[in-house]
Amino acid sequence: MSAKAISEETGKEFLYKHICTSAAVQNRFRYARVSNHTDWDRLAQDHPWLLTERLVVKPDQLIKRRGKLGLVGVDLDLQGVRDWLKPRMMRETTVGKAKGVLKNFLIEPFVPHKQEEEFYVCIYAGREGDWLLFHHEGGVDVGDVDAKAQKLLVAVDDKLTEETVTQQLLAHAPENRKQVLANFIVGLFNLYEDLYFTYLEINPLVVTSAGVYVLDMAAKIDVTADFLCKAKWGDVEFPPPFGRDAYPEEAYIADLDAKSGASLKLTILNPRGRIWTMVAGGGASVVYSDTICDLGGVDELANYGEYSGAPSEQQTYDYAKTILSLMTREKHPEGKVLIIGGSIANFTNVAATFKGIVRAIKDYQEPLQEHEVSIFVRRGGPNYQEGLRVMGEVGKTTGIPIYVFGTETHMTAIVGMALGQRPIPKEPPADAHTANFLLNTSSSAATPASSRTASFSEPKTAADATPAKKLKPGVPPAKATTLFSQHTKALVWGMQTRAVQGMLDFDYVCSRDAPSVAAMVYPFTGDHKQKFYWGHKEILLPVYKNMADAVRKHPEVDVLISFASLRSAYDSTMETLNFPQIQTIAIIAEGIPEALTRRLIKKADEKGVTIIGPATVGGIKPGCFKIGNTGGMLDNILASKLYRPGSVAYVSRSGGMSNELNNIISRTTDGVYEGVAIGGDRYPGSTFMDHVQRYQDTPEVKMIVVLGEIGGLEEYRIGQGVAEGRITKPVVCWCIGTCATMFSSEVQFGHAGACANQAAETAVAKNQSLREAGVFVPKSFDELGDVIRTVYDDLVASGVIVPAKEVPPPTVPMDYSWARELGLIRKPASFMTSICDERGQELIYAGMPITEVFKEEMGLGGVLGLLWFQRRLPRYACQFIEMCLMVTADHGPAVSGAHNTIVCARAGKDLVSSLTSGLLTIGDRFGGALDAAAKQFSGAFDSGLLAMEFVNKMKKDGKLIMGIGHRVKSINNPDMRVQILKDFVKQHFPATQLLDYALEVEKITTSKKPNLILNVDGFIGVAFVDLLRTCGGFTRDEADEFVEIGALNGIFVLGRSMGFIGHYLDQKRLKQGLYRHPWDDISYVLPEHMTM
């Protein structure tokens, strides 16, 4: 959703902070917010003017016409305000159809003034620009301002001047107020633009000799502009519409949505309702709500919401558990139903999202059974069969009634089943499996008669393209009637390899001669090649760093498919519009600010470029070209027969619903000729009528289907075209969102443009008008397919559509990764790992989620235990590991490892090279004695040798005892590192048999030479063996294996790396130059015969 209402307090704060005008704006920041929790003494301290001035008090909860409703207290002192609030605060009030509790009020200074000093000002956004309304008689009785007010359209990118305001808006304003009004209105309009308002109304605006007073204000801002306006907006609190409470669960889902690239929405309508929905897709969510209301469920509908845009399994789990938590709080005498619906997904992995839902169902198994919940599921799209399977399985294992249906079932049929108005099939027919696109599909079910006079696979003539017309100077170029052909070439902006591969597979199955993607543009890497498949063959597509290079090297390209982010889509599209060869641009991103979109539309119109989107999946022309992920994967392409043209063209707002239309049209007609999803924003780059007119001018199109929706007035132009005879082909149209008129409070549906700001924008009004104009309008979405079939059959009967033979498409191999996802193949893995898994929503160490690692404060020792030993070690063991790392971290610059690191650092090498240089010196002679000491001491101890026998044996064998001896430390000058570790081990370890044995050896060796002590390497080695053998987490064989494979040396390597890095940073910080060893520290001993 884009435009959101803000409180009057927030709106005035924006105005007072940021308006730039020479008009004297009075009472700046003089307002006080009160609720039932207000401390009145503190309030008076914070706002001393409350004690000295006459006051006005009113609710600040998005309530219209408060004065008419008697909800404004005027000319009161502070005690009078409190008395006025007593009977109203926290009391239920009815405003129109909405019932709500008054809980937030605003107190402001009372402004004495005359009626003739009240004015009305309003600014609101339209497609061509922003409308300014001004009326010289403002206030409570302003009446129908649309009919009365002076209007001025400020076109996109035009500047408003005081002169224009005075001439076109202020004709009836008092002469002595015109200059102040004009100056203020220009400042207000600039504020409106700078802060991305979409609606701003002041009524009344009072202008006296003292200055300008903003009495009452209502406003909406474009929330998608947050990344542009955050510094000016700050943290904005968006109040819910009056009559609906703000729930913490809504805020939780909004937070999930903000952190996700997917779309997650939730509005709670009736927490006690028995009908709950969890629908995938912005358009589909509206259709399900419509159907529930059409079947009489409006009073029991508990929520509106959607999840779409390929949410992860974890995100879907979080969303699902929120719904299940809400619906299992209060019982309903008739039990409850959960409708898990959706259209046919374009790119969302249905199985992955359903696994998240299944996890939530398992977690809530008992509450769901206790509340007698039945679940009805209908879904299609990538891997949907596996998703339906796991959903059916969880029903069997939990005993919860779960009914699952796929694309063979009409999208909204499950609503009738859930509400008991349609029988539930015992065994729904199953469609072909996703894997079937590996096979030749000539045996598939026959399609209805078609109008094709030539096979899709036959070569087309050059007449595919619309010839360019010569233009008069100053006249904008006309937009093409034919956007795509079998020879269309496109650039793809963004590293969307999956979408590109989907386009190439579509091209191949359509028997195109060459791929439709000429190249990709990706500014974040240098020019290179990217590998893709063309059927069985691997091909390389060029990737360019900038758009200019791409269009220069590929003059045949005339389409851009932009996967740029919402932040960069505007700039990249504006750049593209400077290249005349680009005639069509598809903008996939959702969330581009409306003001920026309108600038794109204006420039595209000037250049004669067609824009599809923003907020779209794109479009498809069967047999020719598809945009990105449109149409889904190959199984759906084949099932909906999108590999060859039909006779029906459609236009929709919703991407998901466009795929549903592909399915419906393929089942009821000879298929789709072309389909476009113009996008869900308020101002799509191209309109319904733009495409309907194209289809009217395209001879191969025999009938047109339009799926409109609530919001905007564009559908009326279609009715007008039909009524006036400009559109002569049969048009079937249905506008979704009919449920909105049944709700008591305003609901913003999933698409930004799906909100009615006036009666004419409601879906009910549009459907009625279209019906009256001669458009074929079904009674509900449920009947859309039936009406399409009837119109199609009539065209066949009248000979407009002539049957043609179905031609099977070529087979396309399945990608290995997808085949593996479906469980169709297996292959030995190149690597195996058992310590870590980063694939899910959360990083897992040896089975333990990273959040749990921090929650339990396991520390570095605990993490090392998980990753090295796959065990959760006792607390003392974790502490011992951390102590070992601390004592081995460094031992000065003179040791070989530190010396090497320093020399490398001074030679100008980078950190990794310098660190590696130091680490390569670690071995038996330096630092690597842990493993060797552990093996020698444990071998001797386990074989029953006495300490003296072990020492004598090593001497006899001519071997050093690893871990014994120190260059500096001795029995008389003990190593404090060893002493610290010894004290800890003796205090905390359950047993120290090997350590005790090593200390006996030390007594013998130090009696011979004082420096033959058990050094830090030896101590850690033997103590670690005691730890592994006695902590209770390992068998004896496991403990010995860790010693054998060299795990203990890892302690020294990890610890000493800290010191080496320290030496590297120290040398860089000290800016030490290249090291050269001094001659006087080198003994030059040459062979005698060389010195003679």
pLDDT digits (tens, 9 = 90+) for 77-97: 999 999 999 999 999 998 887
Rounded to 5 degrees, φ, ψ at 799 are 85, 5
Angle CA(207)–CA(210)–CA(211) in degrees, nearest 5? 45
The confidence band for 712, taking pLDDT boundaries of 50, 70 and 90, is: confident
- Across 300-320, average pLDDT: 90
pLDDT of residue 68: 86
pLDDT of residue 19: 96
pLDDT of residue 457: 29
What are the angstrom distances between the C-alpha of 910 and each of 28, 913, 1075? 58, 5, 15
What are the angstrom distances between the C-alpha of 251 and each of 258, 340, 606, 1070? 10, 22, 42, 52
pLDDT of residue 915: 96
Rounded to 5 degrees, φ, ψ at 772 are -70, -25
The confidence band for 684, taking pLDDT boundaries of 50, 70 and 90, is: very high
> By percentage, how much of the chain surpasses pLDDT 90?
76
> What would the two tokens of residue 1080 be?
């006087």
- Across 163-179, average pLDDT: 95
> By percentage, how much of the chain surpasses pLDDT 70?
94
pLDDT of residue 656: 84
pLDDT of residue 772: 95
CA atoms within 13 A on the CB side of 164: 13
Torsion sign (Cα): 1048, 1052, 1055, 1061: negative
Are 712 and 682 a contacting pair, CB within 8 Å?
yes
Are 590 and 680 a contacting pair, CB within 8 Å?
yes
This prediction has a pTM of 0.81
Residue type for 578, please?
A: N
Residues with catalytic roles: 751
The residues, any chain, with a CB within 8 Å of residue 854's CB and separated by 6 or more, are: none
The answer on pLDDT for 206 being more than 60 is: yes
The confidence band for 752, taking pLDDT boundaries of 50, 70 and 90, is: low
Give the mean pLDDT of the chain.
90
- Across 419-436, average pLDDT: 68
What are the angstrom distances between the C-alpha of 766 and each of 206, 716, 770, 900? 38, 7, 6, 80
The answer on pLDDT for 447 being more than 50 is: no
Residue type for 323, please?
A: I
> What would the two tokens of residue 523 be?
């500014």
The least confident of 330-344, 732-746, 996-1010 is 732-746
Q: Determine if the peptide bond prior to 614 is cis (ω within 30°).
A: yes
**Hey, which of 246-260, 552-566, 967-981, 1034-1048 has the most confident mean pLDDT?**
552-566
The answer on pLDDT for 289 being more than 80 is: yes
Q: Give per-residue pLDDT as tens, 588-616.
A: 999 999 999 999 999 999 999 999 999 99
The least confident of 741-745, 819-823, 836-840, 989-993 is 741-745
pLDDT of residue 756: 55
